[in-house]
Amino acid sequence: MTKDAVRARIEEIGIIPAVRVHSAADAVFAAETVAEGGIPIVELTMTVPGALDVIRQLANNHPNLVVGGGTVLDVETAQRCLDAGAHFLTSPGLAVDVVEFTVKHGTVVFPGALTPTEIVMAWKAGADLVKVFPASLLGGAGYVKALKSPFPHIPLIAAGGVNQHTASDYIRAGAVAVGIGRELIPAEAVARRQSDWIRELAGRFLKIVSESRSLLAV
């Protein structure tokens, strides 16, 4: 999957499920289930035990699934993620060396940033998109909307505290996508292997994004 195709898929779907679970088996279940629900994108955080093996397994077994490495804080981890087959890398904060490394390797990267200064630094370093994190703690959708005024050319992802009640606000504020964790992949649903629960939530969020975008087009 090319870099352009990965970025296009992220912007098309508009949802980046973040998998933060307690085992590799849980991670595989969560990723496969959310994909079955219509969201063929998944971010495997490095806090998941055996995260690199999960990335490798998903990338090999599901060629249409966009698999990324999350919480990538250094170049060494970035290299391991790419070696495992990750299609994108992301982090909760701005690590310029990771951005530059990933760009050099022709892979999609969207670092976390919170302030206008960090957003500019991320963009100048070559980020494909910039993840505003934690968005909910700094004004939510209102903050994203304020950022889009000086940065209309920078595609922003809203992440951190996004739920069914706020996802629409972020999209209408100008975010190209939202990053969603437990609100999409509840720990209880994973523990009980309740795939229907996760698929239903995936459908709800997809509908929210679609309807929100249609309002922007009016």
Average pLDDT, the chain: 97
Fold exhibited by the domain 3-217: TIM Barrel (3.20.20)
Supply 57's token pair: 């397994």
| Per annotation, catalytic residue among 3, 43, 148, 188 | 43
Per the annotation, the verdict on 43 as an active-site residue is yes
Helix/strand/coil percentages in the chain, nearest 5: 50, 15, 35
Q: What percent of the chain has pLDDT over 90?
A: 96
| Per annotation, catalytic residue among 104, 131, 148, 207 | 131
Supply the pLDDT for residue 23: 97
Mean pLDDT of 113-117: 96
Residue 218 pLDDT greater than 70, yes or no? no
Distances (CA, A) of 66 to 48, 58, 97, 174: 18, 9, 23, 23
Residue 21 pLDDT greater than 80, yes or no? yes
- Return the closest-CA partner of residue 107 out of 214, 199, 2, 180: 2
Helix (H) or strand (E) holding 36: helix 24-36
pTM for the predicted model, two decimal places:
0.96
Per the annotation, the verdict on 207 as an active-site residue is no
Supply the pLDDT for residue 1: 87
